[in-house]
Structure 1
């Protein structure tokens, strides 16, 4: 199942700078791990924002939920999830 996920990050300004650096580093490690596993298929920065648009390929909504909750920056995120279906005019849908 494919999902479009928009993540807006708003880390508290009064968070200790060392803790912030640690969280950002562990977030990057987790994102790379999920990309290497083929679960986090696309990751795109939204220009001028601390946000991203991502495509996840998972077996269920429960799996996606667990993945999102496992992200170190999740407590600082606003997340919007949209399920995706193949478009009949897409090249991938053609015989």
Structure 2
């Protein structure tokens, strides 16, 4: 199943930016490894924002939840990360369904 993940990363004013970047570097290694493994279909960093968008392919919500809990950024900085999760349907499947409904 495909899911759209929208990560919003904040950090407290008392945290040096270098510390955030250190966590984010470990997260980037994990994310790019997951992309090579085929779990992450693709991901993007939004320009000018601490926001990352990913499309992932996992077999269940349970698996997705387990993966999210194990991410470096969640383990080390999770109280400052909000993730919006949206299940995705392949457009080709939707289009075929719509055409069937026409008659």
* TM surpasses 0.5: yes
Alignment of 1:1-95 (within 5 A): 1-16=1-16, 19-74=19-74, 75=78, 76-87=80-91, 88-89=94-95
Cα shift at 1:73:
1.5
How far, CA to CA, are the matches of 2:17 and 2:62 in structure 1?
33
For structure 2, list consecutive stretches of 5 or more residues without a partner in the other structure: 97-103
- Relative distance call for 1:10 and 1:54 in structure 2 (3 A) is same
Cα shift at 1:16:
4.9
How far, CA to CA, are the matches of 1:46 and 1:21 in structure 2?
16
Cα shift at 1:62:
0.8
How far, CA to CA, are the matches of 1:67 and 1:34 in structure 2?
10
Tell me the matched-pair count. 90
How far, CA to CA, are the matches of 1:32 and 1:12 in structure 2?
26
TM-score in terms of structure 1 length: 0.81
For structure 1, list consecutive stretches of 5 or more residues without a partner in the other structure: 91-95
Whose radius of gyration is greater, 1 or 2?
Answer: 2
TM-score in terms of structure 2 length: 0.76
